[in-house]
Structure 1
Amino acid sequence: MRWLVHVIFIIFYLLVTFFGLGPVLFADGVVQERIYTALIVFAIYGVLTYFYLKFIRMKK
């Protein structure tokens, strides 16, 4: 069961990286738009990391 949660979080991280950092790196918009997108992506990474660490500590 524990390995399944690890796999799910890995998939979430990969999806956020693909759909979040892709537009930040390859967008042809204004710099301000790229910065806002990057901040949102980093916030999503923070939330994912928080829940992942919370799950890891809960199981010990």
Structure 2
Amino acid sequence: MNTQRAVEISVSPVMANVIYEGERVYIQHVNEENNMARIYPLDHPQYEQNVPVHMLIEHE
């Protein structure tokens, strides 16, 4: 995924189907300067982590 799309998803009120390492995740915030996203798995919101935006996959 590119950084601009990750930003769009993070500010959208519509939930997007985003995958990180085979698990559905929620994008909380995107740092455009270093192309990192703050995410958490939908099933485990306590496991927040920063990951490279290019590792995120959007499924339609």
TM-score by length of 1: 0.26
Tell me which structure has the larger Cα radius of gyration: 1
**Which structure: greater strand fraction?**
2
TM-score by length of 2: 0.26
